[in-house]
Structure 1
Amino acid sequence: MYRVLKSTTSLTMCVALALPVGAFAQPVSDPQASAEFCIEEGTQPDFPCSLPDGTEVLDAEQLNTLREDGTVAEAFRAEAARTAGIVNAETQATAEAQALARARVAAAAAAEAAAADAQAATDKAASDAEAAVQAAAAKAAETQAAADAKAAEAQAAMDAEAQAEADREAAVAAQIEADAQARQSAEASAQSEANATAPSGQAEADPTAAQVEADLAAQQAAEQARSEQRAAEAAAAAAAAAAADSGEAKADVVTEEITAEDTRSSNQEFSTTLNSQTNATTTADAPAKEDDGMSKFEKALLLGLGAVAVGAVLNNGSKVMSNSGDRLVVQDPNGDLRVLKDDAALLRQSGDEVRRETFNDGSSRTTVVKPDGSKVVTILGRDGTVLRRINVDPQGNEFVLFDDTRAEENVVVNELPQVEHHNTLASQQDEEALRTALATQLRDNHTQRFSLRQVRDIRQVRALAPEVELDALRFATGSAAIQPEQARALAKIGSAISNAVHNDPRTVILIEGHTDAVGDAGYNLALSDRRAETVALALTEYFDVPPANLITQGYGESNLKVPTVTAEPANRRAVVRNITGLLRQ
């Protein structure tokens, strides 16, 4: 296009310069005037002659007359003016023609410049488009590379998880084999001893009433010891909180804003080692460690109980059997296993402000302020166990959920109402039936108030609040996670619990976790406790059940639904109880 315009412009200029310039025609004599012009002054002209205006002069006398009256002079002046006008017109026409030629040349130059500019713009647009295409291609390649890297990372994670699952299954199978061989050996040894001491053909005797009575007595003695120890710790915690309130003692205060990264999710696994005599390996969702390698929970226990290392003996006489960072499994002086954890950890939700006061004896008080202005105030013993919890609504109304800082009433186990076990399966009930089941109490005329510790520790006390089994929820071997698609199984019970809390803000629900008998008892205890916590997290995440109204407790393999040492899925379960009535007089 530029070359075409340039050629056209050159041609136009050549044509313009070659065109003739317009001018006025030269005057000619009137064809009817054949005489010469009379001369105004000077020699005598030949007669007849004519003046410039066409007047014919026949002789000298007439010419003199015309000169005298000014006719001759006027005629010549008019002729001179006419001639000058013609010359001026010709000059103007020439100038206009030259101006027109120059305009044409300028227009041609402007057209050429415009064509050059248009070509430059076209070339730049093409260059920009090519650069954009190249940039888009580079970006697409970068995005594809990132996607490929993520896909490879995800595949690697899946492969690692599959390998870990295979390792867990192998460990479980090995443990099952070892337990089976140990039981067979023990049974063979017992049989040999029985054959050596008993008369031939005498069958093995069933447990006697004396043995049952002895077991109850041992349970009663252990309960009495735990009650005395807990009473002393609760009194110390209450005194420490009161001293801090009065200004008589100082507390170490830490305030933090909770974000999503600080919270736990129900679909997360956690780290608990199969070998209860070794420390657990920290995983991505294990509790965060401080710079010195200890979690906040471990530091609190170190202050309150003096040790957290596996094999160490705590200040209360218990021995640490395993430590997963957020949980310790300990064996008390009576030989019973217990799991220690931070009972206030469940309350931490994104958007909360948490203020924790740690007292000199290792006990603490946690105040959780919710975005709506409501509060949850919890006093914890030096081992992290919850002692007292108060809910404060946005209007300032207080609701005491339980208070283990008050003196406990002694529990005589064999005087408790004898309850026939009835298993309510959540999947087989509608929501109204579940509400009724949660509201049922089996206390008869027994009106004793129990502490939360007694409900947690004494099976016969828990039995006074019927259990509802979450039978549609089944955990994989070694797992405590609940995937989102599994949470649908909790919809009816979640709605029933939420409704109960709405009707009575002092409602307290106990969530129990259980395992099968495969593996180490300490490992199973920690695993079952985390399963209970996972159920509580799911109820809060999906059905808005307030976490302050939930208490979680794991019981390991101590209460098998199906009495077997094999990997029975029915034993890997969770149940809930409404223990509100047991905590009130």
Structure 2
Amino acid sequence: MRKERRESREGNRTVIREGDRTIIREGNRTFIRRDENDRFNRRGDARIERRGNEIRTVSRRNGVDIITVTDANGRLLRRSRYVNGREVVIIDNRPRGGRRADAFFVALPALALGALAIPRDRYIVEAESAPPEYIYGALMAPPVEPLPRAYTLDEIRYSPEIRNRMPRIDLDTITFDTGSWEVSPDQYDRLAPIADGIKRAVSQNPNEVFLIEGHTDAVGNDEDNLSLSDRRAESVAVILTDEFQIPPENLTTQGYGEQQLKVPSDGPERANRRVTVRRITPLLQQGQLDAGAPPPQ
């Protein structure tokens, strides 16, 4: 990974490009972005179109076109399903409310865990010990606190207090070796409970969106851990699609490196090398285009 990296300055940002990933350092924040089109085009059947400054990737699944629109830098603008020639937006990542396209971080008050109206084991669900109804319940639960507005995908990805308004499932059944993002085939079946919950949710609403989050322990530097965690999230998303037939358009991924340790430790803690899943549809849904709206030209 390190051999691919090229570092440059863009204004007040340090930008590190690593293949289809970009690590950005700005002030006291460091985050990673990636172009997810490769995950959509694993079967090689996607059609890529360029329209001005936009790149459209068209995949056909079960007779329906799934169109992902990115800008020239690979940043997602929107992802849609076309049904009978009409656009149904799954993810709208275009800035709204006069905010800049790069205004990702949203400050909300920290969540008071002791004041939650649901039990803690329903807010943070440990997949290894949770019954299926707990997993499905966490996936389908509403935000634990009211939110003032809908958010873009980037705002959700890069603002922890927004994400924390949704329950999460820690896939502690899946473990990673130090420095590895590979999930061994003997662990695939351990993803079955979360896959069943997601498929059940998608069967009721094909526009559901689930965020797959990757994490590392505190060993190593920020850039290595961000890249590693992002690859861990992608690995799990690929398995959920390839092995359990979850449509890739219902999944999005993000790595957080060592920024959200589950166990406070500076050492090689296996529990911190993990993947988390949460449903983010309620955070996205307001302001989406209506199913009856004409497709954008």
Q: Which residue of 2 aligns with 1:407?
A: 96
Residue matched to 1:312: 8
2:74 counterpart residue number: 384
- How many residues are aligned here? 274
2:125 and 2:134 in contact (8 A); partners too: no
Match of 2:102 in 1: none
Residues 176-255 of structure 1 mapped to structure 2, 5 A cutoff: none
User: Corresponding residue for 2:50?
Assistant: 357
Match of 1:326 in 2: 20
Query: CA distance change for structure 1 residues 493 and 397 in 2, over 3 Å: closer, same or farther?
Result: farther
**CA deviation map 1:7-56 (0-9, x unaligned):** xxxxxxxxxxxxxxxxxxxxxxxxxxxxxxxxxxxxxxxxxxxxxxxxxx
1:343 aligns with 2:39: no
Structure 2 vs 1, CA of residues 507 and 550 (structure 1 numbering), >3 Å: closer, same or farther?
same
Alignment of 1:49-60 (within 5 A): none
Q: Give the direction of change, closer, same or farther, for the CA distance of 1:424–1:349 in structure 2 (3 Å limit).
A: same
Deviation at 1:390, TM superposition (A): 0.5
- Aligned with 2:224 (options 516, 523, 536): 523
User: Structure 2 CA distance, aligned partners of 1:464 and 1:472?
Assistant: 24
Identify which of 274, 279, 287 aligns with 1:578: 279
The separation in 2 between residues aligned to 1:347 and 1:371, in whole angstroms, is: 11
Aligned CA distance change for structure 1 residues 501 and 418 (closer, same or farther; 3 Å): same
Question: Structure 1 CA distance, aligned partners of 2:34 and 2:110?
Answer: 29
Aligned partner of 1:369 in structure 2 is 59
CA–CA distance in 1 between the matches of 2:87 and 2:188? Answer: 32
Larger relative CO (CA 8 A, sep 6+): 1 or 2? Answer: 2
In the TM superposition, what is the alpha-carbon distance from 1:547 to its structure 2 partner? 0.4
Greater share of residues in strand: 2
Counterpart in 1 of 2:175?
A: 474
The answer as to 2:222 corresponding to 1:532 is: no
TM-superposed CA distance for 1:338, in Å, is: 1.9
Range that drifts further, 472-481 or 447-456: 447-456
Letter in 2 for 1:326: D
CA contact (8 A) 1:425 1:469 kept: yes
Structure 1: which 5+ runs fail to align? Answer: 1-271, 274-278, 281-308
Give the deviation of 1:317 after TM superposition. Answer: 4.1
**1:485, CA displacement in angstroms?**
1.4
Cα offset for 1:571? 0.4
What is the alpha-carbon distance in structure 2 between the residues aligned to residue 495 and residue 530 of structure 1? 23
Query: What is the one-letter code of the residue matched to 2:161?
Result: Q
Which one has the largest radius of gyration? 1
Structure 1 residue 553, shift from structure 2 partner: 0.2
- Normalised to the residue count of structure 1, the TM-score between the two structures is 0.44
**Counterpart-to-counterpart distance in 1, 2:176 and 2:157:** 22
Rate the CA distance shift 1:471–1:409 in 2: closer, same or farther, 3 A: farther
Deviations 1:536-567 (A, max 9, x none): 00000111000011110000000011111110
Is contact 1:437-1:466 (8 Å) kept? yes
* Distance of 1:458 and 1:328 partners within structure 2: 18
2:128 corresponds to which residue?
427
Question: 1-side partners of 2:241 and 2:106: how far apart?
Answer: 36
CA contact (8 A) 1:409 1:450 kept: no
Residue among 523, 527, 552 paired with 2:253? 552
Decide whether aligned partners of structure 1 residues 408 and 456 sit closer, same or farther in structure 2, where only a CA change above 3 A counts: farther
What secondary structure sits across from 1:562 in the alignment? coil
Q: Which has the higher helix share?
A: 1
Provide the secondary structure at the position in 1 that maps to 2:185: coil
Corresponding position of 1:458: 159
- State the AA in 2 paired with 1:344: N
CA distance in 2, matches of 1:325, 1:376: 25
Report if the CA contact (8 A) 2:6-2:18 is conserved.
no
Q: Deviations over 1:251-299 (max 9, x none)?
A: xxxxxxxxxxxxxxxxxxxxx23xxxxx23xxxxxxxxxxxxxxxxxxx
Query: CA-to-partner distance for each residue in 1:366-422, whole Å, 9 max, x for gaps?
Result: 2323264321112213432212110124x4453211212251487863457644574
Runs of 4 or more, structure 1, over 6 Å off, are 409-412
**Residues 433-481 of structure 1, C-alpha deviation per residue, up to 9 Å, x if partnerless?**
2111101123434352111111111110000111100010001111111
Amino acid at match of 1:350: R
- Give the letter aligned to residue 357 of structure 1: R
Residues 157 and 163 in structure 2, CA contact (< 8 A), matched pair in contact too: yes
**How many Å apart are 1:358 and its aligned residue?**
5.8
Equivalents in 2 of 1:574, 1:397: separation in Å? 35
| Alpha-carbon distance between aligned partners in 1 of 2:217 and 2:31, rounded to the nearest angstrom | 17
Do the aligned partners of residues 512 and 412 (structure 1) sit closer, same or farther apart at CA in structure 2, a change above 3 Å counting?
closer
Of all paired residues, the percent bearing the same amino acid is: 35
How far apart, in 2, do the equivalents of 1:567 and 1:557 lie? Answer: 11
Specify whether residues 468 and 408 from structure 1 end up closer, same or farther in structure 2 by C-alpha distance, changes over 3 A only.
farther
The amino acid of 2:91's aligned partner reads: F
Are residues 398 and 366 of structure 1, via their aligned partners in 2, closer, same or farther at CA, if it must alter by over 3 Å? same
Classify the secondary structure of the residue corresponding to 2:7.
coil
Cα deviation for residue 492 of structure 1 reads: 0.8
